[in-house]
């Protein structure tokens, strides 16, 4: 193995990024490019697959130029990606038959509501894919394209169309159509992959009428899938994981019981549950954390739809301040929100409540309520929502969860992190490297080409930046939690007719 560097491609929902790491996990170069969001109708979200590839490719070239390294010194490429987003293209021409339908897109909500009515099928899906039937996952998006794009179904049935999540599309493009694969973590987000047998689920494919021949081959998260010659040298593509699973890996959550929380636009909490899938009784989903040398690790996952986005809302829509950083300052002027609670369920509630009829609400307003109270309540809401997911994980696994590893844009907020620690009574630890998602993909690729020998070699590399310890007394925490629970209760089902 001659190469010293790993190129990590991080294909996100609003931008494509590339980070080049060296063996010691130093960031050698970074590049980022936004690309257009397409909203054809309210609630619909699409991307042009060519934009996804082109923006990703140009950031990789840009990062390589900035790094000023010989491409022959690149050991491997790792890929991490927005999950569930669905692309279908013509096998011969490489041209997509429709835009990418993005994970956020709600166009298949009605289709999913109908599917859910068959309780037996819903339970089958839950036990075999780990997921709840929902428009987020790829399956209904594939069906929508086959049902709505003229000629698509016939072409798919005769083996002329290919489906892929974003990782699959990038690998196919980078290998000039030679390799049509995905990894277990991405497969586990399609609602078509059986997480027990580790095969595409024939029963679900039959019910949804999706031809198996269009699906990619499912591989490990860490292995050489193929080679690309698009960067001036023949480089192996050797690691893939969906963004949240990559972050879990990048946080070195390799052991059963390890938990990470990524605070971005939403909050994504994942717990490694070891080598057996654990089915939630508390509204969490089961997913594959990684698959290395055929050894699969599972995770429980809970997502909070509106996390840092509540701060964006106060900034852009309420115009309370001009930068997210100001929220920390203004919110910290008060020691508490003094009875004000903000439930930011703008698009309904995710885990563990799952209520699509809920909408955002602010409670406890008095004549003395100020802008600062509302900001403080918004910061606290980010932590309260994560607490609900963490409690559900603890209840599902019987694991008390001592420590939580944190990352993501809003994890720089000391008031949110301290309140999170206070309200859960748990220790939070934050690593020096904030780029855990890109790092996770780099680790997976580097392990496959033996830049790193094994996960034990990586374990020592997690470097602490900051710890948050609970300081609030438990009685006070209990009082605040009671108020939060009441606010959540009042918010549920608000728009149900
Ligand atoms: P994503 O990857 O989902 O786009 P990021 O990890 O970049 O998100 O995090 C951005 C989010 O973090 C935004 O929603 C922003 O409002 C929030 N955020 C950033 N800095 C702060 C801060 N100091 N305090 C509170 N929220 C913040």
Mind listing the pLDDT tens digit for each residue in 27-75?
999 999 999 988 898 888 899 999 999 999 999 999 999 999 999 999 9
- Tens of pLDDT, residues 366-412: 999 999 999 999 999 999 999 999 999 999 998 889 899 999 989 99
Query: What is the Å distance from ligand 1's center to 84 Cα?
Result: 22
- 132 C-alpha to center of ligand 1: Å? 27
Nearest-atom index, ligand 1, CA of 311: 16
**Which residue's structure tokens are 């001009």?**
322
3-state secondary structure (DSSP) of residue 469:
coil
Q: What is the mean pLDDT of residues 114-128?
A: 95
pLDDT computed for residue 350 by the predictor? 86
**Per-residue pLDDT band at 497 (split at 50, 70, 90):** low
Neighbours of 403 (CB within 10 A): 13
Query: Which residue's CA is the closest to the ligand 1 atom numbered 2?
Result: 264
Ligand 1: centre distance to CA 142 (Å):
31
Using CB distances shorter than 6 Å, the residues near ligand 1 are 264-265, 308-309, 311-312, 324-325, 327-328, 408-410, 412-413
Pocket-testing residue among 311, 317, 320, 408, ligand 1, by greatest number of atoms within 8 A of Cβ: 311
Which residue's CA is the closest to the ligand 1 atom numbered 7?
A: 409
For ligand 1, the distance from its centroid to the CA atom of residue 310, given in whole angstroms, is 10
- Which one-letter DSSP state was computed for residue 95? -
Q: CA 151, CA 45: separation in Å to the nearest integer? A: 23
Compute, in angstroms, the gap from residue 472 CA to the centroid of ligand 1: 25
Residue nearest to atom 27 of ligand 1 (CA): 410
**Helix count and strand count (H, E) for the chain:** 16, 23
Identify the three-state secondary structure at position 417.
helix
Six token digits for residue 470: 């609970």
Distance 410 CA to ligand 1 centre (A): 4
What's the distance, CA 188 to chain centroid? 12
- Which residues have CB under 8 Å from 303's CB, separation 6+? 266, 267, 268, 269, 350, 351, 389
Q: What is the mean pLDDT of the chain?
A: 94
The pLDDT-based confidence of 459 (bands split at 50, 70, 90) is confident
Atom of ligand 1 nearest to the CA of 325: 23
242 phi and psi, to 5 degrees?
Answer: -60, 155
Take atom 23 of ligand 1 and give the residue whose Cα is closest.
325
> What pLDDT, on the 0 to 100 scale, is given for residue 104?
85
Among 308-312, 338-342, 437-441, 492-496, which is the least confidently predicted range?
Answer: 492-496
Instruction: Tell me how far the alpha carbon of residue 424 lies from the centroid of ligand 1, in angstroms.
Output: 21
Do strands 27-34 and 46-47 pair parallel, antiparallel, or not at all (unpaired)? unpaired
CA of 379, closest atom in ligand 1: 25
**Percent above pLDDT 70 for the chain:** 99
Average pLDDT value for residue range 76-104: 96
Banded model confidence at residue 2, pLDDT cuts 50, 70, 90: low
This model's pTM is above 0.75: yes
* Contact (Cβ atoms closer than 8 angstroms) between residue 347 and residue 383: no
The pLDDT score that the predictor gives to residue 44 is 87
State mean pLDDT over 201-228.
Answer: 97
CA distances (Å), origin 425, targets 9, 335, 347, 395, 431: 36, 18, 29, 15, 20
Ligand 1 center from residue 234 Cα (angstroms): 37
Centre of ligand 1 to C-alpha 377, Å, is 16
Q: How far is the CA of 264 from the centre of ligand 1 (A)?
A: 5
3-32 burial, b at 16+ Cβ within 10 Å, e below that, comes to bbbbbbbbbbbeebbbbbbbeebebbbbbe
**Contact in structure between 236 and 178 (CB atoms under 8 Å):** no
Which of 346, 368, 364, 366 has its CA nearest to residue 356? Answer: 346
Per-residue model confidence as pLDDT tens digits over 217-255: 999 999 999 999 999 999 999 999 999 999 999 999 999
Interhelix angle 371-397/324-332, rounded to 10 degrees, is 100
Nearest atom (ligand 1) to Cα of 15: 4
Closest atom of ligand 1 relative to the 12 alpha carbon: 2
* pLDDT of the residue at 460: 81
Nearest CA residue ID for atom 26, ligand 1:
410
Task: State the closest ligand 1 atom to the C-alpha of 13, by its place in the atom list counted from 1.
Answer: 4
Locate the ligand 1 atom nearest the alpha carbon of residue 312 and give its number. Answer: 16
Does position 95 have pLDDT exceeding 80, yes or no? yes
Q: What is the pLDDT of residues 161-172, one digit of tens each?
A: 999 999 999 999
| Dihedral in degrees, nearest 10, Cα atoms 54, 55, 61, 63 | -170
Beta pairing partners, 18:
9, 31
User: How many CB atoms are closer than 10 A to CB 62?
Assistant: 16
Instruction: Give the pLDDT score at 335.
Output: 86
């Amino acid at each position: 193995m001659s190469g010293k560097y790993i190129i990590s491609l991080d294909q996100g929902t609003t931008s494509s990024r590339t980070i080049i790491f060296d063996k010691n996990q130093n960031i050698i170069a970074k590049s980022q490019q936004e690309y257009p969001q397409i909203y054809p109708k309210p609630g619909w979200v699409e991307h042009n697959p060519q934009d996804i590839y082109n923006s990703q490719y140009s950031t990789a070239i840009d990062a390589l130029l900035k790094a000023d390294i010989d491409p022959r010194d690149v050991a491997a490429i790792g890929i991490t990606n927005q999950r569930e987003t669905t692309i279908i293209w013509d096998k011969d021409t490489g041209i997509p038959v429709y835009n990418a339908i993005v994970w956020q897109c709600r166009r298949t909500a009605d289709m999913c509501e109908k599917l859910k009515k068959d309780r037996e099928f819903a339970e089958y899906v839950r036990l075999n894919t780990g997921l709840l039937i929902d428009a987020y996952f790829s399956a209904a998006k594939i069906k929508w394209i086959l049902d709505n794009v003229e000629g698509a179904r016939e072409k798919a049935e005769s083996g002329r169309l290919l489906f892929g999540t974003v990782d699959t599309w990038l690998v196919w493009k980078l290998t000039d159509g030679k390799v049509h694969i995905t990894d277990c973590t991405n497969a586990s987000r399609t609602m078509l992959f059986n997480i027990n047998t580790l095969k595409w689920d024939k029963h679900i494919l039959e019910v949804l009428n999706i031809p198996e021949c269009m699906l990619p081959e499912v591989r490990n998260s860490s292995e050489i899938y193929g080679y690309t010659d698009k960067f001036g040298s023949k480089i192996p593509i050797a690691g893939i994981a969906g963004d949240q699973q990559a972050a879990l890996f990048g946080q070195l959550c390799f052991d059963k019981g390890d938990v990470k929380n990524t605070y971005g636009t939403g909050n994504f909490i994942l717990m490694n549950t070891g080598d057996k899938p654990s089915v939630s009784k508390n509204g969490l989903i089961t997913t594959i954390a990684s698959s290395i040398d055929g050894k699969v690790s599972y995770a429980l996952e809970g997502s909070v739809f509106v996390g840092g986005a509540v701060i964006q809302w106060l900034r852009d829509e309420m115009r309370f301040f001009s930068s997210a950083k100001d929220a920390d300052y203004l919110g910290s002027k008060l020691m508490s929100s003094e009875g004000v609670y903000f439930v930011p369920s703008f698009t309904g509630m995710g885990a563990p409540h799952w209520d699509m009829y809920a909408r955002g609400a602010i409670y406890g307003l008095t004549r003395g309520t100020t802008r600062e109270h509302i900001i403080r309540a918004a910061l606290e809401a980010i932590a309260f929502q994560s607490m609900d997911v963490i409690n559900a994980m603890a209840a599902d696994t019987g694991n008390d969860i001592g420590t939580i590893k944190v990352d993501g844009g809003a994890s720089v907020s000391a008031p949110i992190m301290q309140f999170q620690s206070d309200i859960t009574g748990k220790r939070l630890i934050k690593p020096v490297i904030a780029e855990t998602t890109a790092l996770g993909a780099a680790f997976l690729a580097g392990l496959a080409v033996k830049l790193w020998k094994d996960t034990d070699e990586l374990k020592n590399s997690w470097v602490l930046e900051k710890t948050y310890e609970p300081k609030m007394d438990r009685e006070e925490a209990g009082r605040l939690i009671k108020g939060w629970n009441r606010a959540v209760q009042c918010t549920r089902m608000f728009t149900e007719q």
